[in-house]
Amino acid sequence: MSEQAPIHIVPYDPTWPAQFDEERTILAQLLQTWLFGTIEHVGSTAVPGLCAKPVIDVMVGVQSLADSIPGRDALVAAGYQYAAYKTDVMHWLCKPSFDMRTHHIHLVPYGSPLWYERLSFRDLLRRDQKVAKAYAKLKVDLAARFKFDREAYTQAKGPFIYEMLKLGGEDG
């Protein structure tokens, strides 16, 4: 990947669900041969009211990473950008470019630990406002600290995510 664009956290945008729906329709057509399970809106843009990087995270269920390599290649042929990132658990792509991202696409084996972790954390944030507020504060703080280092930003969120999933949130 080229030099990374800075991390910007913005207030919740009520158009994010519609942006996801539009992308889901495109992906369902492009990946119909490899789709296994559902296409899910994950990440902070999937949580009403939560601030986020303005990038729609889409998790696509596939049967396996090996079986979905042709699907990944079909996305690249359609203009998505592929990066060999966390290749042991997913195929990761973005669009329209590494420097200007509007969508992150994660091809993840349906029912895998990563699949359940992403859905569980999204659902926890949706139902527990205290956890969502604490996560929002953490994201803003980390974005300021790691403005040009997306990997450090992502890794620094990890302990909070795992702790909250372990606890199940205050309401769960």
pLDDT in tens, 53-65: 999 999 999 999 9
Tell me: the pLDDT tens digits for 88-137? 999 999 999 998 899 999 999 999 999 999 999 999 999 999 999 999 99
**Spatial CA neighbour of 46 closest among 111, 142, 119, 129:** 119
Q: Where are the domains of the chain?
A: 16-167
Class of domain 16-167: alpha beta
- Backbone φ and ψ of 5, nearest 5°: -70, 155
**Spatial CA neighbour of 9 closest among 145, 164, 124, 155:** 145
Distance CA 83, CA 123 (A): 27
pTM over the 0.85 mark: yes
